[in-house]
Chains A and B, each alone.
Chain A
Amino acid sequence: MWLASTVAYSVGGILASAFIGASIAGFGAVAMPSQFDETFFLPILLGVCAAVLLRELRLIDLPLLQWRRQTSGLWAKVLPAPVAAGLWGIDLGLVFTTWLTFAGPWLLAAIAFLSRDVPFAGTLFVTYWFGRVLTVWLAPLVIRSGGDLLLFMEVLSVRRPLFSRVHVSGAMWAAVVLLVMLAGGEPIDGRAR
């Protein structure tokens, strides 16, 4: 039952994440003129990246734009476990329809929008989902009993600063990559110049 539910959860999230990434890029392709100078986009993304970094380092007080809702616990009570897990995957895979812990997904949305590259943006959000769902796949390595599960959740809560540092390292890495792209003249839409 655990395996079926975890697979359903993962697949639901992959589909939803691919959809949200591709949709944002598709919207960008419609909204942004194709002849727009790509070199203009990288400084914008560096600005968004800096805002995420400064926020997560608590150097600026920037409210997090988010939909303040949780996925429905009711599904587990009225639906078979794999179906409920699949629906949770879809709901959480949509990224912006539930609580965000940190601001990073908005940087991914900015990258997806300005890339206007549907396959790349879909891959970007699916990769985000892989990171998110990996915890569920790895949890059995440390959870051996009901008591371990409670302790696991407590450790995650107590260790929030550690997760914050991982998030900051992700944003710092994005800044490095964007600077390399800016220096090398590689456009965010992936087209050769």
Chain B
Amino acid sequence: MTNVERNVPAGVVAIAAAALVIAAIALPLQARAALLGTAFLFGWSQLPSL
């Protein structure tokens, strides 16, 4: 397994998890702002074209 094959899936999951943690911190402060976590995850999961 190459670096790319190993690191890309791990990076995708790590950044998604970090976004969810930040959104969870925002939830009790202003619930509506926590919806930005959803927006980020939707953008992050849109398969990119370089």
Q: Give the B-binding residues of A (Cβ under 8 A).
A: 70, 100-102, 104-105, 107-108, 111, 115, 120, 123-125, 127-136, 138-139, 141-143, 148-149, 151-153, 155-157, 159-160, 162-164, 166-167, 169-171, 173-174, 176-178, 180-181, 184, 186, 188, 190
State in angstroms the CA–CA spacing of A124 and B33 once bound together: 9
- B25 touches A (CB below 8 Å): no
Interface residues in chain B, defined as those with a beta carbon under 8 Å from any beta carbon in chain A: 2-5, 7-9, 11-13, 15-16, 19-20, 23, 27, 30-32, 34-50
Q: Do the beta carbons of A128 and B39 come within 8 Å of each other? A: yes
Q: B3: nearest residue on chain A (CB-CB)?
A: A142
Contact pick for A101, options B41, B47, B50, CB 8 Å: B47
Q: Is B40 a contact of A111 with CB atoms below 8 Å? A: no
Q: Which residue from chain A places its CB closest to the CB of B37 in the assembled complex?
A: A173
Q: Which of B12, B38, B40, B49 contacts A159 (CB 8 A)?
A: B12
Q: Is the CB–CB distance between A120 and B32 below 8 Å?
A: yes
Q: Are A163 and B45 in contact (CB under 8 A)?
A: yes
Chain A nearest CB, measured from B2 CB (Å):
6
- 12 A–B contacts, CB within 8 A, in A order: A104-B45, A108-B38, A128-B43, A134-B15, A152-B4, A156-B47, A166-B12, A173-B37, A173-B41, A176-B27, A181-B31, A186-B32
- Separation of A180 and B32 alpha carbons in the complex (Å): 9
Bound complex: CA of A39 vs CA of B27, how far in Å? 19
Do the beta carbons of A169 and B20 come within 8 Å of each other? yes
Establish whether residues A124 and B35, one from each chain, have CB atoms under 8 Å apart when the complex forms: yes
Is A101 a contact of B36 with CB atoms below 8 Å?
Answer: no
Known interface pairs A155-B4, A162-B9, A180-B27; A132-B46 also in contact (CB < 8 Å):
yes
Kindly state the separation between the CA atoms of A159 and B4 in the bound complex, as whole angstroms.
12
